[in-house]
């Protein structure tokens, strides 16, 4: 027994009070732990439900998602690599019929440069009237986003004379790398001077010059984004 002044406190009373306080504190701790566990369980359950809900929405949307990728051309040979001269079928007028055949020349700035396999049907024009003739012949090509044009001399030289050893103006010079370009006679887009311009001569298999007043065929060139070729 502990005596302090007139107050007498027994050890047993102290022990009982200490035990009671400890019990209350431990009880509160247990309650707090239970509450935290319950809260965490509730949050985890809600998170899982939200995740499943989002996944279900995405799954349902997958069947109706609209692709923004526009397939304009399809490789006949398949694969992802391009070979100069390989044939590529294109849907030039947007009717989903890939029937217009082009030859692949090269790629630049993420675009494939393609040239029509043959001269445009029914087109025979002098150099000065190329723009109008080309526009008329390809006016239905609404699926081609880049302007239709002709092949340039510098493009022929870069792709058909890669080693810079045989000028493309030499007879049979196109046979080595660009035989696909020499199967017909047609104007190039490049002018030499006021009176003459370059053209592809199918007889000599080379680039030659001709007076601009001469009438001959055209082969159209289109540029298609690589992502739009399947």
Give the model's pLDDT for residue 66.
45
Under 8 Å between Cβ of 69 and 228: yes
- Reported as a pLDDT band with limits 50, 70 and 90, residue 184 is very high
- Rounded alpha-carbon distances, angstroms, from residue 202 to 93, 205, 216, 217, 218: 29, 5, 12, 11, 13
* Token pair in block for residue 168: 């493309």
- Reported as a pLDDT band with limits 50, 70 and 90, residue 173 is very high
- Closest of 86, 105, 103, 75 to residue 228, by C-alpha: 75
More confidently predicted of 33 and 126: 126
Taking the CA atoms of the chain, what radius of gyration do you get in angstroms? 40
Cα distance between residue 106 and residue 59, in whole Å: 40
Give the model's pLDDT for residue 58.
62
Instruction: Give the global pTM.
Output: 0.70
Residue 140: Cβ-neighbour burial (10 angstroms; 0-12, 13-18, 19+): exposed
Averaged pLDDT score across all residues of the chain: 86
pLDDT tens readout for residues 96-152: 999 999 999 999 999 999 999 999 999 999 999 999 999 999 999 999 988 899 999
Residue 57: is its pLDDT beyond 60?
A: yes
Residue 209: Cβ-neighbour burial (10 angstroms; 0-12, 13-18, 19+): middle
Angle at 225 between CA 64 and CA 112, to 5 degrees: 140
Positive or negative, the CA dihedral 98, 100, 101, 102 is: negative
* φ, ψ (nearest 5 deg) of residue 117: -60, -35
Angle at 141 between CA 158 and CA 122, to 5 degrees: 80
More confidently predicted of 183 and 19: 183
């Amino acid at each position: 027994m502990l005596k302090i002044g007139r107050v007498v406190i027994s050890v047993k009373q102290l022990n009982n009070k200490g035990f009671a306080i400890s019990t209350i504190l431990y009880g509160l701790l247990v309650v707090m732990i239970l509450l935290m566990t319950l809260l965490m369980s509730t949050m985890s359950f809600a998170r899982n439900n939200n995740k499943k809900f989002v996944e279900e929405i995405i799954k349902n949307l997958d069947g109706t998602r609209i692709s923004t990728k526009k397939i304009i051309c399809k490789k006949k040979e398949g694969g992802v690599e391009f070979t100069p001269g390989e044939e590529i079928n294109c849907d030039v007028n947007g009717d989903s019929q890939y029937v217009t055949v082009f030859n692949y020349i090269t790629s630049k700035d993420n675009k494939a440069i393609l040239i029509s396999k043959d001269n445009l049907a029914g087109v025979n024009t002098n150099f000065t009237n190329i723009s109008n003739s080309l526009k008329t012949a390809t006016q239905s090509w609404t699926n081609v986003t880049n302007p239709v044009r002709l092949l340039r001399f510098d493009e022929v030289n870069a792709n058909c004379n890669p080693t810079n050893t045989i000028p493309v103006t030499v007879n049979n010079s196109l046979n080595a790398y660009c035989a696909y370009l020499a199967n017909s006679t047609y104007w190039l887009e490049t002018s030499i001077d006021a009176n003459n311009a370059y053209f592809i001569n199918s007889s000599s298999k080379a680039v030659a010059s001709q007076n601009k007043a001469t009438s001959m065929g055209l082969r159209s060139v289109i540029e298609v984004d690589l992502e739009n070729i399947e």
